[in-house]
Amino acid sequence: MSKIISLGIWALGFLLLASQRHSPLLSNMGLSVLAYKATAFFIPRVGAAFIRRGFAGKDMNKIEKRVIPETMGAVSALVYFMCMILFIPILFYKYLVPERSRDQQDDQLNVLNDGYASVAKTQFPHDQLGAYLSAVISILSISLLGIFDDLFDIRWRHKFFLPAIAAIPLLVVYYVDYGVTYVSVPTLLRPFLKRTVVDLGFLYYIYMAAVAIFCPNSINIIAGVNGVEAGQSFVIGLVVLCNDLISVFHQSNTEAMRAHLLSIYLVLPLIGVTAGLLEYNWWPSRVFVGDTFCYFAGMVLAVVGILGHFSKTLMLFFIPQIFNFILSVPQLFGFVECPRHRLPRLNVKTGLLENSYTEFTEGIPLPKKTLLTIRVFEALYLIRVDWDQKTKKPIRCTNFTIINFVLYHFGPMREDRLTLCIMGIQLVVGIFGLVIRHGIAPLVYPQDSI
């Protein structure tokens, strides 16, 4: 039965792809279905070879701590790039192939082709191809960084800013093709500020570079629980797709429609390859996604936000990652010690995941900034701190991550439930973001069409 369903999915993919003469969107859907199947096909077949080359990791939240293949995001990324490249002639099909009827003579065809070639040259949308290729270059370079990170465990301060360099092609295309750097002022504030828009100029480009830095890194630090890296990316991908579809069907502005269509072409295959990966990364994981996947998926999402002209809306969908980043600041910036791994710990007796802790060495006085930080975060119910009743000194505190925050408030849970919980939060936040963008924002920013 499962074989029949699998064959059916392959067939559906090819059928949709074959419809390319009518709609690049349907073909892109077909390619994405095939991308899902191809990723799920290759992952189990290349796992052993990855382990032999050293791409392997220990599944820390299992009793037996098995070693399984890591860096499987490289397979997703590779399949994704295949799709991107195959899609180029499909997207520009109408500019590449002349319309012709079967009964035309050869010589007539030659004349027609010559004529067509010159028309194609003048009408070919080089700007669209430029935008598309800049997306591919940015995603490709950041996936390379991910592979190097999985190979050499690069320090985070060394790799942190690299996505901004990878984003340069995107920013150049944005500048040349679109160039909008203003933000609308909400209706209520307009009488006070006496203007409808504020131009951020160069700062807007800094903001977009920051988005490119933030997205890949923020996915990489909500990690360490089976399925959570791919799960959050999958949900954000779906939410971005909904945002694009709503925009495409409700926009009268062709510029905005084109931008959102481009975003769909980039995000649909991401959803496909992530679903294929998730099949093997879901609890109990048979493979790990690696930093390669986190960077790759994060960059695709940043790219669609920038080229789709909705980088501000995108940040609404990244609220869980923003929360996790703000929560992580004390550990990332050394106010509180940051262990190499902050993932939760398995209680072997119950089989449930519990909070992981940062332990404070007895007898070594803690710096004032550490004490102040843990007191403030404890008072805000963001972390739990165990205090020594006699000395009134902290013994340990839960690690500063959204995963530990969920375990602190909802109690220990099985690994897959924890992933589902994070995905659930991501989905609720995504729906909230869509309501804000499409329900409330039009009332507050009446002229903001994109």
Residues at the interface with ligand UD1 (CB under 6 A): 57-61, 70, 220-221, 223-226, 285, 288, 291, 341-343
- Residue 223 vs 230, nearer CB to Mg ion: 223
288 binds, among ligand UD1, Mg ion, none (CB under 5 to 8 A by kind): ligand UD1
Rounded Cα–Cα distance for residues 331 and 357 (Å):
12
312 vs 437: CA distance, rounded Å: 10
Distance in Å, CB of 46 to ligand UD1, minimum: 17
Of the ranges 105-113, 218-226, 261-269, 278-286, which one interacts with Mg ion (CB under 5 A)?
218-226
Two structure tokens written together for 253? 């502005």
| DSSP H or E run through 29 | helix 24-52
CB of 171 to ligand UD1, least distance (A): 26
222-261 residues in contact with Mg ion (CB under 5 A) are: 223
Q: Residue 309 binds what, of Mg ion, ligand UD1, none (CB under 5 to 8 Å, by partner type)? A: none
- Binding status of residue 218 toward Mg ion by CB under 5 A: no
Token pair for residue 16?
């949709």
Q: How far is the CB of 54 from Mg ion (least distance, A)?
A: 16
d(CA 328, CA 350): 28
Angle at 127 between CA 177 and CA 169, to 5 degrees: 70
Q: Does 291 bind Mg ion (CB under 5 A)?
A: yes
Give the residue with the Cβ less far from Mg ion, 223 or 228. Answer: 223
Q: Rank residues 261 and 299 by Cβ distance to Mg ion and give the closer one.
A: 299
220 near Mg ion (CB under 5 A): yes
Start-end of H helices in 124-201: 126-152, 156-159, 162-166, 168-177, 190-193
User: For residue 217, which of 293, 149, 152, 295 has the smallest C-alpha distance?
Assistant: 295
Q: Among candidates 351, 348, 321, 316, which has minimal Cα distance to 434?
A: 316
- Residue 53 interacting partner from ligand UD1, Mg ion, none (CB closer than 5 to 8 Å by kind): none
Contact 68, 285 (CB under 8 A): yes
- 226: partner contacted, choices ligand UD1, Mg ion, none (Cβ within 5-8 A by kind): ligand UD1
106 token code pair = 């050869």
Rounded to whole angstroms, how far apart are CA atoms 340 and 368? Answer: 23
Our CB check for Mg ion shows the closer of 204 and 288 to be: 288
Q: Which does 424 bind (CB under 5 to 8 A by kind): ligand UD1, Mg ion, none?
A: none
Please tell me the distance from the alpha carbon of residue 91 to that of residue 264, in angstroms, as a whole number: 12
Q: How many residues bind Mg ion (CB under 5 A)?
A: 3
CB nearer to Mg ion: give 61 or 370: 61
* Least distance in angstroms from the C-beta of 226 to ligand UD1: 4
C-beta separation of 356 from 404 below 8 A = yes
| Positions in the binding site for Mg ion (CB under 5 A) | 220, 223, 291
